[in-house]
Chain A
Amino acid sequence: MGHYILVLLDENRLERIKGSDVENNIKSMFGGELKCIEVNVPEELSQKILKTFDTARIDARGAITDLPVAFMREFFNQIAEKKSIGPEVIEATLAKADQIKELAAKESEYLPPPDIEV
């Protein structure tokens, strides 16, 4: 079973990939209310991700989820930098695993909540 990582796109992220081939892979979800990209992950790299990040898991849809926010940010940075969604962006992200883990350790203590009235 092939796995994938779903990258959410807000306005800022859409701007950073504007004009690149990555734009052709943008999907619109939930009646156009959400934009995203599905990045296919080869089996070998799936296993490497699961082994490297202990929170990571594969959900019912086959998506690799529960990755640190720091991973997702770096992953998008690599996509924006390399203008690609090929395996090289996964490898480049994994190359920074130590740095990501360090950030993830901090973010597992505190994540700033959205500024909305509750």
Chain B
Amino acid sequence: MSTSLLIQRPLPHGGRLVERVVRDKEVAKKMIKGCPTYDIKPTLHYETGVPVRNVYREIMSICYGFFSPVEGSMTQAEVERVLKERRLLNDWIFPFPLVFDISKEDYKKLGVTKGDRLVLNLKGKPFAILDIEEIWEIDNLEEFAHRVFGTPEDNPEVVRHRFDKKHPGWVIYRSHQPVVLAGKYTIINEPKFRPPFDRFWYPPRKCREKFDELGWRTAIAHQTRNVPHVGHEFLMKNAAYTGDIEPCHGILVNAIIGVKRRGDYPDETIVEAQEAVSTAGYIKPERRLVSICLWDMRYGNPLESLLHAIIRQNMGCTHHMFGRDHAAVGEYYDMWATQILWTKGIPSFGFDKPPTDVPYGVQIRPQNMREFAYCPTCKEMAYSETCGHKKEGISGSLLRGMIAEGVQPPSVILRPEVYKVVVKWWKHFGYPFCNEKYVRDKEKDLEVDLEDL
């Protein structure tokens, strides 16, 4: 086809994919010879001690290019710029500070300085290196956490309530350690994903190659951290009609895999339940790819949507669907904050225009969707802006309640094949959702194993 209306796959954010992975073990061994080592520790909740983050996930997503053009732990000046303007020092937009933080005690013990190379061990094996460019301190962690997400005073366009310890993303930043080792990461010992995650691992380069193999010029991304109900399925099916002169060739489901909260579905359930939608034929596999990205969700609604756009542009998507309360928890942000960002921008976050229209912005096209709900009159899933009847909403929490009480949800809201996956992992873990044991075990075992170097 040769019409000028065709949309082409965008370049990665920043112009090139970051790939900082050394695959030659001999080279890796030479790179780490004589360097000090540090065992990566999970970030623990500042009050309860429960794991809330593991920086290894950030290192993976940075080094495999999901977060291109970010290459490492940010310097103080870069974090300041991200907090003020949501831009990196090279001007490309980016929503969140990403840092390698350690305690003052660990810093004293390590005795590293600027210019040192630190070997980062994961599960007792060498995993990555951090070439230290700067060492700085976060003065006030509570203030830092507030600045990350915004406040009703500073960001009145979208922040409705002051963030607090009920917000898991705020807790992540509040629980950071004060000393930051800034510098580029390089993975020197590639971790191996355990089943079922291994078959969903499509880092950006591999994902772009997969799109070529599938013949997808256009692809729309679907963000998930959930088992798909029929409302999600209809969102995907209908958003995918967007494209150029034809609907998008593919739907990329990208599940964010990371630390879990009690009550979430286990990650194993999420990826296999998403897969079941395709294998059962509700959306045929030739048109839908399920993938993962490692990240401990910050639940930053509009800010998180910006990160999602960057990740999926890097993976090769041309479009990204965004729904109500995107990546949100509670009522901290306006429920349409993500749509506000992508339709007119949020000046107080540094965007006087949508992130697609500012210099050094993203190229992926947002598809702002409203809601799908069941219409008893039409007797089908209906789009809120199309169907004029009174509808019945499906929410993840409604389904969770139903499942926990032992009621199989009707197939009109949850496909039986998806329910079977839920029950499969329920039998495995003894519980349908993440409980404290799952949360703790997951952060001990992680999603990967490492071989000796």
Contacts and interface: CB of A to CB of B under 8 A. Distances in A.
Interface size class of B (residues with CB under 8 A): 35 or more
Interface stretch (A26-34, A77-85, A93-101): A26-34
Interface in B19-35: none
Given A30-B413, A65-B400, A118 B427 contact: yes
B376 A69 contact: no
Contacts of A110: 430-431
A63 B430 contact: no
Interface string B411-429: 0110000001101101100
A1 B252 CA distance: 36
B432 interface: yes
Interface in A1-46: 6, 8, 10, 29-34
A118 B424 contact: yes
B111 interface: no
Contacts of B325: 60
Interface string B55-66: 000000000000
B49 interface: no
A111 B427 CA distance: 9
B103 interface: no
| Most chain B Cβ neighbours within 10 Å, of A65, A67, A72 | A65
Nearest to B325: A60
B328 to A, nearest CB: 8
A117 to B, nearest CB: 8
Contacts of B430: 109-111, 113
B374 A30 contact: yes
Interface string B394-421: 0111101110111111101100000011
B424 A29 contact: no
Contacts, number: 96
Nearest to A32: B376
Contacts of B329: 57
Contacts of A55: 262-263
Interface size class of A (residues with CB under 8 A): 20 to 34
Given A30-B392, A57-B330, A114-B408, A109 B431 contact: yes
Nearest to B329: A57
Given A30-B413, A69-B405, A72-B405, A109 B398 contact: no
A72 B427 contact: no
Contacts of A67: 401
Contacts of A29: 374, 392
B404 A8 contact: no
Contacts of A30: 374, 376, 392, 410, 412-413
Contacts of B423: 113-114, 116, 118
Contacts of A88: none
Contacts of B379: 31
Given A61-B395, A63-B398, A113 B426 contact: yes
**Which 5 A-B pairs give the minimum distances between C-beta atoms?**
A65-B397, A33-B410, A118-B424, A59-B397, A113-B426
9 contacts: A30-B413, A55-B262, A57-B329, A65-B401, A72-B405, A110-B431, A111-B426, A111-B431, A118-B421
Interface of B: 262-263, 324-325, 329-331, 335, 374, 376, 379, 392-393, 395-398, 400-402, 404-410, 412-413, 420-421, 423-424, 426-427, 430-432, 435-437
